[in-house]
Amino acid sequence: MASKGDWVRIHSVVLEPGQRAPQVPEDTARVPLELWIKGYLQADAKPGDQVRVLTRTGRLLEGKLLEGGLDYTHSFGAYVPEVTQIGEMVRARLRSIES
């Protein structure tokens, strides 16, 4: 269950395959244009319910509630030892220029 005001993610179909622009490539035209977006839930709901959200840019959008309680899951990736070595080389080079 998600409560009004929760930061959630929704899904909706913007255009069905038959509604796609004629210049869209054939393989693209065969599938719907879908939207996944995050926003603030406007009323209590459970996953799967049709809901409205207010986005950070102030748009009110409707879609199926996928999940709430979203966390940031991005990172800068795995540690790369070569980057540390390059940093050490650059610092040594800069020290030699300053001398």
Taking the whole predicted model, whether its pTM rises above 0.75 is answered as no
Both structure tokens of 59: 């748009």
User: Please, what is the average pLDDT of the chain?
Assistant: 93
Q: Sign of torsion, CA 27 29 32 33?
A: positive
Q: What is the architecture, at CATH level 2, of domain 1-69? A: Roll (2.30)
10-35: per-residue pLDDT in tens? 999 999 999 999 999 999 999 999 99
Under the banding of pLDDT at 50, 70 and 90, the label for residue 5 is very high
| Spatial distance between the Cα atoms of 39 and 8, rounded to a whole number of angstroms | 6
CA distance 46 to 65: 7
Helix (H) or strand (E) holding 33: strand 33-41
pLDDT digits (tens, 9 = 90+) for 46-89: 999 999 999 999 999 999 999 887 877 778 888 899 999 999 99
**Ranges of each domain in the chain:** 1-69
Quick one: the chain helix, strand, coil %, rounded to 5? 25, 35, 40
